[in-house]
Amino acid sequence: MEKRKLEVADLFKLQSVTDPQLAPNGKEAVFVKTHIDEEDNKYIANLFHVDLESNEVTQWTHGKGAISSPEWSSDGKQIAFLSDREEKNQLFILQARGGEAQKVTTFEKGVSGFLWSPCGKKIWVDAVVKEGKTFTDKEEKDEKKKPQPYRATKMKYQMDGAGLLPQDTYKQIGLVDIETGEVTQFTEGNFQHGLQAISHDGKKLIIGVNRKNNLDFEFRQPLIIVDVETKEETVLVDEEGYFGGAQFSFDDRYIAYVGSDRSFENATHSSLYVYDTEDGMRMNLTESIDAPVGDAAVADHQQGADAPSAVWTKDNYLYFQLSTMGDIRLYFASLEGELYPATPENEHVYGYDISVDGEFALVAVSNAINPGELYKQTIATGERQAITSFNATYLEEVELVEPEAIVYKGATNWDVHGWLMKPAGYVEGTNYPLIVEIHGGPHAMYANTFFHELQLLAAQGYGVLYVNPRGSHGYSQEFVDAVRGDYGGGDYEDIMAGLDYVCKENSWIDTNRLGVTGGSYGGFMTNWIVGHSDRFKAAVTQRSISNWISFFGVSDIGYYFSDWQIGADMTDVDKLWEHSPLKYAKHVETPLLILHSEKDFRCPIEQAEQLYITLKSMGKETEFVRFPDANHNLSRTGTPNLRIARLDEITGWFAKYL
């Protein structure tokens, strides 16, 4: 059977398999499967169960909403999960032997997260509570409520995806009695508390909280061990940087957590730490690896992929994700300092759980030509058995292009890693246009994972080049830090050197038909490129930065990100302007399509407005498309019809000019 080419609307056919959770008996598991409902224009996520002895997969929930964060009770008889089936995320419990899910909470503002108490009769929750109110207090509904002014007194007053932040609400931790529904508030004070972990004996909680009154320049979240009975606190970690994902070992002696200090601001590699509660000592288990712990991949398919920071076995071994050379691999660590990969190269492990005895792992795995499925992997041999095959029919019907990995010399003679895709249906001796894709971040990475947008461009007859220039994660600390203070310098050279390299090595590339696109930092770089080179015949800039001076005051992160990344604030506007693509608008000769979301608070739409009007006033060839009710994450989690419209705009522009 001849395969068809991938289409924009295939977003509605692809299935996302995430969040495997093993039962305590190691013989069964649950996971989440998400698909996009075209008719309802929404994401639908349901809970599935697998019997690991028979490999039988059964759908356990059938709602039209999205469920997330499934977790087994310690006796394996119940599964708790969050569901937005009634708008706000609430906590539900399902009996493992069948029956309807029981709704446990009816909080006014929903539930943010939860942890089972080991007794199985109570559940710890964290949720937003209005000052002076309780979890269950209802707000008065006034149908004729008049608009009210918003007073900002702090710099962190808005956030992408949330908009203006409420000034009088705080995340608190509480304990829910499953039988009675009674909720007891555990934390107090006007601070944001985050639930991290509970010890296996149920006596200790780990919470994250910063109790400073003004958090504008606070870039830390202390982790605190709290005695459940006495509320006595012991500091686990309190230093600059982000630390989280705490997990108790089975004997409750050790606590693993992941984090990064501020040595290189937000470019600092994350490490895996272990704290010994007996002697108070802390070990950095990944100190010898020059790569970040966690998942730094950018892609547009996996929905709600939420992997644990680390998982213990009963023998006090640890498993965790590591982003390295375009892979996200599962790694093993011992307290004695042993470290080695537990999964192979050339793939993206985006979800996992480990059996208590360390015999096998459940891994959710994708690669460039597989959207992702769930596998059972024997740790000792690496042997894998497929558990799910939701995308099997799709893969039989659709032609996907396998990228070729490349390594070339970038600026300062450093090795730069990337991939080149030939057009789908490539015919030897034919010339094809090429599109360069640039990722956001910049501290993220393209990876060996399925990427619908890249496959779509290949399906429409384009070669696709995507690389990890300096600033990208997954390589050395020196490499990821090298972009800071040098936006538009070595990073620009790395990307253009990659283009030179593939054009020289591949005679099929028509160098008169080159396109470039990218979002966020990739949008900044697209803007920069067209202001510094006329090699491209078409460009699409998305959710971009054009002016660092205004970005400082309008972005939800601008007032510190500009300093961290450009090395300048409003006391040095000359440097901010020097690195602003808008300064070079008069040099733009490339037809430029500008795409931007109306509710993007990360790179606000005024960045696009300035660029568009400036280019138009200079008589440049440009168009501007605005996406209503969309934020910075449009390409990944945006409203489905707008995601389709965005892809149609990109492919339409390239079709017109290439």
Q: What is the DSSP string of 25-49?
A: TSSEEEEEEEEEETTTTEEEEEEEE
The predicted-structure confidence for 630-642, as pLDDT tens digits, reads as follows 999 999 999 999 9
Residue 489 lies in a domain: yes
CA distance 617 to 587: 13
Do 334 and 411 lie in one domain? The reply is no
Is a pLDDT exceeding 80 seen at residue 141?
Answer: no
CA distance 268 to 261: 7
Residue 164 lies in a domain: yes
CA distance 245 to 319: 13
Beta bridge partners of 364: 351, 374
Residue 148 lies in a domain: no
Do 97 and 185 lie in one domain? The reply is yes
Do 275 and 412 lie in one domain? The reply is no
Domain CATH for 543? 3.40.50.1820
Mean pLDDT of 275-301: 95
Residue 456 lies in a domain: yes
Do 109 and 235 lie in one domain? The reply is yes
Element (H, E) at 623: strand 622-627
What is the reported pLDDT for 215?
92
Domain CATH for 207? 2.120.10.30
Do 318 and 333 lie in one domain? The reply is yes
Q: How many domains does the chain divide into?
A: 2
The total of other beta-carbon atoms located within 10 Å of residue 38's CB is: 14
- Residue 361 structural domain: 4-140+156-394
Q: How large a percentage of the chain has pLDDT more than 70?
A: 99
Evaluate the CA torsion angle 491, 496, 501, 503 in order and state its sign: positive
Residue 146 lies in a domain: no
Query: In terms of DSSP bridges, do strands 432-438 and 463-468 run parallel, antiparallel, or are they unpaired?
Result: parallel
The answer to whether residues 112 and 127 touch, using CB atoms and an 8 Å cutoff, is yes
Do 205 and 74 lie in one domain? The reply is yes
Q: Which of 347, 367, 394 is the last residue of a domain?
A: 394
The predicted-structure confidence for 503-525, as pLDDT tens digits, reads as follows 999 999 999 999 999 999 999 99
Known catalytic membership, residue 632: yes
Q: What is the pTM of this model?
A: 0.96
Q: Which two tokens stand for residue 309?
A: 């920071």
The total of other beta-carbon atoms located within 10 Å of residue 426's CB is: 14
Do 417 and 351 lie in one domain? The reply is no
Known catalytic membership, residue 533: no
Q: Which residues contact 587 (CB under 8 A, 6 or more apart)?
A: 531, 532
Residue 388 lies in a domain: yes
Do 487 and 367 lie in one domain? The reply is no
The predicted-structure confidence for 442-457, as pLDDT tens digits, reads as follows 999 999 999 999 999 9
Is a pLDDT exceeding 70 seen at residue 502?
Answer: yes
Q: Which two tokens stand for residue 467?
A: 């690389």
Do 359 and 421 lie in one domain? The reply is no
For residue 209, the one-letter residue type is V
Q: How large a percentage of the chain has pLDDT more than 90?
A: 92
Among 520, 546, 550, 562, the one annotated catalytic: 520
Label residue 278 exposed, middle or buried (CB < 10 Å: 0-12, 13-18, 19+): exposed
Among 269, 443, 596, 632, the one annotated catalytic: 632
Do 272 and 290 lie in one domain? The reply is yes
Mean pLDDT of 380-394: 96
Residue 81 lies in a domain: yes
Do 96 and 183 lie in one domain? The reply is yes
Start-to-end Cα distance in the chain? 31
Mean pLDDT of 367-377: 97
The answer to whether residues 566 and 579 touch, using CB atoms and an 8 Å cutoff, is yes
Q: Which two tokens stand for residue 555?
A: 């972005």
CA distance 178 to 103: 10
HEC profile of 540-576: EEECCCCCHHHHHHHCCCHHHHHHHHHCCCCCCHHHH
What is the reported pLDDT for 304?
82
The predicted-structure confidence for 61-109, as pLDDT tens digits, reads as follows 998 889 999 999 999 999 999 999 877 899 999 999 878 889 999 998 8
State whether residue 218 is helix, strand or coil. coil
What is the reported pLDDT for 638?
93
Q: Which of 361, 394, 427 is the last residue of a domain?
A: 394
What is the reported pLDDT for 461?
97
Do 253 and 298 lie in one domain? The reply is yes
For residue 503, the one-letter residue type is C
Q: What is the DSSP string of 89-113?
A: -EEEEEETT--PPEE----TT---E
Q: What is the DSSP string of 460-490?
A: TT-EEEEEE-TT-SSS-HHHHHTTTT-TTTH
Q: Which of 353, 376, 394 is the last residue of a domain?
A: 394
Residue 149 lies in a domain: no
Is a pLDDT exceeding 70 seen at residue 142?
Answer: no
Q: How confident is the model at residue 144 (pLDDT cuts 50, 70, 90)?
A: low
Phi, psi of 654 (to 5 degrees): -70, -35
